[in-house]
Amino acid sequence: MPGFSLDERVRLSIEMALTADGHSSLRQHQDVEARGLGMSGAEIDAARRGRSFDAWTSIALGLARAARQGDDTELKNHREKALSSGISEVTCQEIEEFAERVASPQLEPG
């Protein structure tokens, strides 16, 4: 069974979750990109709420949100959940680093 990876759909889902209160042009850009990746309207709405219909993506979203919040205990709990679900340590680190970049004002959408 292949493992979980931080692919474009997951990256975009994380970006949408962490920028859900962003301006309308960002949301429109994300919607177009999401539809191009085959995401449905329900999947887009779920991502903006920090959720996913896919279990691994949902766990990744929780980890990304915890990384963004900066609460070490919460981050540790989400990392342990991700690891126990089969997401690798390397991928967890990628998720956390990506979440930090999304939080950075230098990140361009997409």
pLDDT band at 22 (very low <50, low <70, confident <90, very high): confident
Domain boundaries, the chain: 8-103
Question: pTM for this structure?
Answer: 0.87
Q: Evaluate if residue 21 carries a pLDDT over 90.
A: no
Q: Evaluate if residue 70 carries a pLDDT over 70.
A: yes
Contact by Cβ (8 Å): 64, 17: yes
